[in-house]
């Protein structure tokens, strides 16, 4: 069965695909924007804590379920269910995940579209086509609608044609390039006035802010978003993974790569904010909210590139081109969730499923573009801060309480001889059944009552 569904040919391929899903706009756009709105270092530390204590165990839950059941989330959870109630809950969680990820894709494609448009801005400025460059750089409904269409078309094309291999090969080469580029940009920012203060804001936490409920929920949402959790993406990728792989090891590599990317992006953006402040640019309004809101990085980075003189346009081109690739390897992992479900459940042709579902998501994206001010933040908060962690809660319950623990161990032992004596097995089962669900609930209880 696994062969018919397709399988990653190597650990490296899986690692690249899974990191490709994890690393994307969440790291370079979401994390720095969140950190900038939530007190910098206080956010970074809460985020790091939650990423390793809650998101990594939840990632393991999804990967193990996926590899064991070799199915999409809905069928997978139904397969693990032991009675009519858990079967219903499983179906509900699977379908809610599918809906959540489709909504996530609808806002993700808007930001992905911005990356395409800024990439074209860099190309047209290099060619001296100033009018075109200005059009690509100006935030407007027609521009944003056009690039939602372009970004979704690319996503649909990759998912329907199954040219994922090609994309993965590219991103294998291009992701290291993105790291190098980020490092160079960080070095450049550090030479500018105001950067040291930014570095302090990013690394020295004001612990009085850590306790604020808004901050913890944002950090939890960010951690789940960045690792693509709760919606069945990682479950699907786990279902394509060969039984010879060591799951806890692979999972921890993905978590570390993903967190590393976010950390680096923050190291660039937060000091860049302070450089802009030192230059008299208004970043925060009187209430302390970001003036640019979700547009922070596309208002901040282009002016940083401009300050570099001649090379600036080349750097911008490289940066936005790499961002387009990074967002595509994430968006295809989103569209894959409803497509895999439809193909496996209704035996629909893959390309037809990708086109129909992708077009529906595009329509929702366009609605968001036309009602950006009222709907965008609402959909982001609803899906990433509420839906994802709460669905993660149910995945934890399925692995921790419904699935027989010996079966879980058996799955883990494939590709990991001696798993039963490992530190992972000493900690994780208790963790996923008790600590994760309670901690996720605690965050919401705190939010509701304080
Ligand atoms: N994790 C990706 C990022 O950081 C986005 C992503 C891909 C995602 N698949 C997902 C987010 C599924 C939520 C759910 O950009």
- 128 SS3 class: coil
Cβ 123 vs Cβ 317: under 8 Å: yes
d(C-alpha 251, C-alpha 261), whole Å: 16
| SS3 state of residue 112 | helix
User: How confident is residue 167, by pLDDT bands cut at 50, 70 and 90?
Assistant: low
pLDDT value of residue 2: 37
Q: Which residues have a Cβ under 8 Å from the Cβ of 13 and sit 6 or more positions away?
A: 168
Backbone angles phi, psi at 240, to 5 degrees: -95, 5
Residue 111 CB: number of other CB atoms within 10 A?
A: 26
- The span from the CA of 34 to the CA of 264, in Å, is 14
For residue 416, give the 3-state DSSP assignment.
Answer: coil
Read off the pTM. Answer: 0.93
Share of residues in the chain with pLDDT > 90 (%):
78
Ligand 1 center from residue 278 Cα (angstroms): 34
- 7-21 pLDDT, tens digit per residue, is 676 777 778 888 989
Ligand 1 lined by 225 (C-beta under 6 Å): yes
CATH of domain 2-344+389-449: 1.20.1740
Predicted confidence at residue 211, as pLDDT, reads 72
pLDDT, residue 1, reads 35
Segment 187-215, tens digit of pLDDT: 999 999 999 999 999 999 888 877 777 89
- d(C-alpha 228, C-alpha 203), whole Å: 26
Alpha helices in 227-295 (DSSP H): 233-239, 247-278
- 304-328 residue pLDDT tens: 999 998 899 999 999 999 999 999 9
Nearest ligand 1 atom to alpha carbon 26: 4
- Domain coordinates of the chain in residue numbers? 2-344+389-449
Residue 334 Cβ inside 6 Å of ligand 1? The answer reads yes
Neighbours of 161 (CB within 10 A): 12
Atom 13 of ligand 1, residue of closest alpha carbon:
228
Question: What's the pLDDT score for residue 219?
Answer: 94
Determine which residue's CA is closest to atom 10 belonging to ligand 1: 228
């Amino acid at each position: 069965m696994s062969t018919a569904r397709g399988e990653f040919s190597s650990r490296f391929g899986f690692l690249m695909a899974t990191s490709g899903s994890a690393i994307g706009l969440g790291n370079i756009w979401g994390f720095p924007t969140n950190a900038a709105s939530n007190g910098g270092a206080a956010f970074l530390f809460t985020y790091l804590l939650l990423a390793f204590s809650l998101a990594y165990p939840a990632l393991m839950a999804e990967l193990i379920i996926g590899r064991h059941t070799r199915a999409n989330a809905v069928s997978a959870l139904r397969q693990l269910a032991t009675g009519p109630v858990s079967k219903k809950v499983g179906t509900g969680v699977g379908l809610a995940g599918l809906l959540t990820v489709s909504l996530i894709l609808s806002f993700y494609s808007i930001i992905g579209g911005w990356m395409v448009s800024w990439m074209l801005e860099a190309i047209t400025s290099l060619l001296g086509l100033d009018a075109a460059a200005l059009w690509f750089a100006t935030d407007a409904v027609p521009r944003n609608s056009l690039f939602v269409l372009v970004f979704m078309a690319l996503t649909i094309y990759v998912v329907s044609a199954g040219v994922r291999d090609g994309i993965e090969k590219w991103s294998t080469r291009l992701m290291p390039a993105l790291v190098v580029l980020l490092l160079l940009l960080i070095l450049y920012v550090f030479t500018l006035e105001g950067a040291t203060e930014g570095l302090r804001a990013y690394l020295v936490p004001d612990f009085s802010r850590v306790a604020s409920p808004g901050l913890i929920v944002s950090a939890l949402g960010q951690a789940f978003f960045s690792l693509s959790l709760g919606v069945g993406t990682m479950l699907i990728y786990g279902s394509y993974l060969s039984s010879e792989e060591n799951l806890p090891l692979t999972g921890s590599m993905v978590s570390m790569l993903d967190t590393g990317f976010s950390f680096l992006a923050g190291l660039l953006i937060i000091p860049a904010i302070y450089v802009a402040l030192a230059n008299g640019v208004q970043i925060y309004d009187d209430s302390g909210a970001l003036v640019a809101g979700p547009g922070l990085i596309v208002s901040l980075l282009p002016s940083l590139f401009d300050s570099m003189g001649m090379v600036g346009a080349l750097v911008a081109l490289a940066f936005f081109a790499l961002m387009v690739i990074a967002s595509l390897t994430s968006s295809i992992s989103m569209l894959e969730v409803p497509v895999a479900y439809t193909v496996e459940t209704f035996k629909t042709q893959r390309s037809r499923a990708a086109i129909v579902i992708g077009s529906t998501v595009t329509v929702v994206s366009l609605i968001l573009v036309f009602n950006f001010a009222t709907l965008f933040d609402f959909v982001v908060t609803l899906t990433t801060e509420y839906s994802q962690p709460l669905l993660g809660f149910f995945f934890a319950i399925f692995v921790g309480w419904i699935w027989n623990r010996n079966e879980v161990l058996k799955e883990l032992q494939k590709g990991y001889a001696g798993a039963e004596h490992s530190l992972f097995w000493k900690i994780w089962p208790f963790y996923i059944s008790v600590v994760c669900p309670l901690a996720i609930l605690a965050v919401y209880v705190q939010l509701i009552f304080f």
